[in-house]
């Protein structure tokens, strides 16, 4: 069976949460092919050195758009995007575009840790 692909993205205030989440669910996450925006991917690999994560560009430099393009190409099966709703982001249009494409292509998308905790247990990658 083809491996499922999971994209990980976290705003700065949520990167600790993302690293904790991945560490806590490392065994469940290991079977996925993992992609992440640049800084998020770096933090995840620092915390879980045995995981292999393909790092794209940092979000503000186009990483969100790269993941959006992969979703449009059918290359991403699920998106875990831990959003910080309390800070302004210079690339907010990219953030919205990424969420929009996840909606257009109807892929499972967790926008906070509580949802990701519930979603991760549903996968059999
Ligand atoms: O900005 C982001 C999401 O919009 C995340 O990008 P980084 O993981 O590079 O910080």
Structural domain boundaries enclosing 78: 5-120
Residue with tokens 């393909």: 54
- Judge whether 116 lies within some domain: yes
Q: What is the pLDDT of residues 90-118, one digit of tens each?
A: 999 999 999 999 999 999 999 999 999 99
> In a mutational test of the pocket of ligand 1, which residue from 40, 47, 85 has the highest number of ligand atoms less than 8 Å from its CB?
40
Residue 84: inside a domain? yes
**CATH number for the domain including 28?**
3.40.50.1380
pLDDT in tens, 21-59: 999 999 999 999 999 999 999 999 999 999 999 999 999
Question: Is 125 a domain residue?
Answer: no
122 is in an annotated binding site: no
Number of domains in the chain: 1
In a domain, 83, yes or no: yes
Which phi-psi region, left, alpha or beta, contains residue 28 (left: φ > 0; alpha: ψ -120 to 50)?
alpha
């Amino acid at each position: 069976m083809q491996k499922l692909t999971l994209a990980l993205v976290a705003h700065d205030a949520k990167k600790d949460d993302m690293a904790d989440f991945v560490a806590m669910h490392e065994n469940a996450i290991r079977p996925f092919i993992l992609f992440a925006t640049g800084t998020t991917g770096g933090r995840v690999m620092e915390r879980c050195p045995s995981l292999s994560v393909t790092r794209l560009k940092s979000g503000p430099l186009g990483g969100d758009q790269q993941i959006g393009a992969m979703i449009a190409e059918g290359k991403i099966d699920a998106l875990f995007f831990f959003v910080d709703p309390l800070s302004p982001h210079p690339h907010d249009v990219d953030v919205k575009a990424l969420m929009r494409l996840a909606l257009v292509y109807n892929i499972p998308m967790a926008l906070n840790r509580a949802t990701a905790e519930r979603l991760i247990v549903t996968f059999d990658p």
